[in-house]
Amino acid sequence: MESKEQQVNTSSPILMLGILSISFLMSVSNAVSGTIPLMKQYFSNISEANVELLVVIPTGGVLLGTVVSGLISNKLGKKYTVLLGLIVSLVFGVIPAFFYNYPAIFLSRAMFGVGMGIFTPLSVSYITDVFPEKIRNRLLGWRNSVGAIGDSIMLFIAGFLINISWHATYLVFLFLIVPIVLVSLFVPKRLDRVIVEDGKEVEEDTSIKPSTNGGVIQLAILFLFVCLFYSAISLKLASHMVDSHIGSAADATRIFGFLVLCSIISGIAFEQLAKWCGRYTVFIFEVLTAVVMIAMPFTNSIPILLVLVLVAGFCNGIINPALTARMVAYSPKGSMNLTTSIILIGINIGSLVAPYFFQALGGVLGKNDPGFMIMCAGVCYVILALYDAFVVKKDKLTI
């Protein structure tokens, strides 16, 4: 590839919109997590954990998609790889609306995750490659907000579709048409294999062999546990509300909508909050998450439960971009795609094992009702916060 010397307008809202739209679908479970109680009734001959697996099995597909994403990107370039992943997720995402048997839904959900695994790593590397450092943290926060906006819209639609049937809820993934159109129109193909330095396009140094290190692995493990414990809300909240006669599955779906809406606000506020909290940003918001999750099982009021969920969503919206920003500090030069893939593997292992983790934890503790599992996850967040306080001192992190 020839070296590029033309100026890049990194403040272009059109370019930002195109790249950020890749993150419209960041959650593989929230949009359809409200269907869990209804699917338990429909698949009454299948274990609870295996029904919950239908909601999180896309994370297994993401692992495969993440592995092949780099190979596909080398052949097709970033833009066409993103479009391929989005199209795969759209096609397989809507299949459960038309095929009702467990094996067909299981396979389609796995392939939905493969599509996500193909395009998601590029949602981060586009930001780190194309935008300068002074804009990067802002966009990482906005990326979380864009994902929350996408989740919020999909949950709003899902709240209506679930009243038709749990099958119809999966039509919500037709929303992926939006990022397909925006990426097609607003992300230039010429940015496939270039990086931007000082506002100018520079030829990507393909001679650097991607590598990793202990810092990246440590960060991936931290992401794994954050995702694992936070999954208690998406997996157990709806069942807790139904079992405790607090509300219906539709009520839970609407609460999930407020959850991601709150994440929009936190994503926008991230840059300023990170400046105020500095290296203890993750620690502070993990402690807050612990407090509200421990409190959730002790309320029978939907408004109070909503407030607690909003706080949890806000905290998660700060923790995720804060940990993502550490990728720049830990990643070896020329290895951001590999680093992102390793982090995604950690995240998706956390989501994939979550149903079985909580089932096993309930067995060990002799109590496995949904509210108790949410409380246990909150206690685990306390341990994560203490560990993070140790890490930021050891590695001298700035965030």
pLDDT digits (tens, 9 = 90+) for 155-186: 788 888 888 888 898 999 998 999 999 999 99
Mean pLDDT of 193-206: 66
pLDDT at position 282: 96
196 or 142: which carries more pLDDT confidence?
Answer: 142
d(CA 337, CA 70): 7
The closest alpha carbon to 279, from 224, 314, 329, 211, belongs to 329
pLDDT at position 338: 83
pLDDT at position 4: 43
Radius of gyration, alpha carbons of the chain: 20
Cite the DSSP H helix spans in the chain. Answer: 13-20, 36-42, 48-56, 58-76, 78-93, 102-130, 133-161, 177-186, 214-243, 249-277, 281-295, 302-330, 336-365, 370-394
Model confidence band, residue 366 (pLDDT cutoffs 50, 70, 90): very high
Top-confidence range, 11-15, 20-24, 315-319, 371-375 = 371-375
d(CA 319, CA 321): 6
At 119, list the tokens: 């395009």
The neighbour count for residue 276, using CB atoms within 10 Å, is 10
Is 50 exceeded by the pLDDT of residue 3?
no
In the Cβ-directed half-sphere of 172, how many Cα atoms lie within 13 Å? 29
Whole-number average pLDDT of the chain: 86
What are the residue boundaries of the structural domains of the chain, listed by start?
13-394
3-state secondary structure at position 300? coil
Is 60 exceeded by the pLDDT of residue 209?
yes
> Largest Cα–Cα distance in the chain?
65
* C-alpha distances in Å from residue 175, one per residue of 25, 108, 170: 9, 17, 10
pLDDT at position 135: 82
113 - beta bridge partners?
none
* C-alpha distances in Å from residue 257, one per residue of 19, 30, 244, 333: 24, 9, 21, 38
7 - beta bridge partners?
200
Q: Which CATH superfamily is domain 13-394 in?
A: MFS general substrate transporter like domains (1.20.1250.20)
Tens digits of per-residue pLDDT, 47-81? 877 887 887 788 778 889 988 888 898 888 889 99
pLDDT at position 2: 40
Model confidence band, residue 9 (pLDDT cutoffs 50, 70, 90): low
Angle at which helices 302-330 and 133-161 pack, to 10 degrees?
150
**CA-CA-CA-CA torsion for 128, 129, 132, 134, nearest 10 degrees?**
0
Q: What is the DSSP letter of 187?
A: S
At 351, list the tokens: 């989501």
For 91-105, 193-207, 310-324, which range has the lowest pLDDT when averaged over its residues? 193-207
CB 170, CB 93: distance < 8 Å: yes
pLDDT at position 6: 52
pLDDT at position 334: 72
pLDDT at position 233: 92
CB 242, CB 39: distance < 8 Å: no
Question: Is 185 buried (19+), middle (13-18) or exposed (0-12) by CB count in 10 A?
Answer: exposed
Q: What is the DSSP string of 320-379?
A: HHHHHHHHHHHSPTT-HHHHHHHHHHHHHHHHHHHHHHHHHHHHHHT---HHHHHHHHHH
Letter for the amino acid at 153? I
Mean pLDDT of 20-38: 77
Model confidence band, residue 7 (pLDDT cutoffs 50, 70, 90): low
d(CA 172, CA 51): 20
Is 80 exceeded by the pLDDT of residue 200?
no
d(CA 35, CA 97): 12
At 183, list the tokens: 């990426």
pLDDT at position 196: 65
CB 258, CB 313: distance < 8 Å: yes
pLDDT at position 5: 46
pLDDT at position 91: 95
For 255-259, 288-292, 295-299, 312-316, which range has the lowest pLDDT when averaged over its residues? 255-259
pTM assigned to the model: 0.78
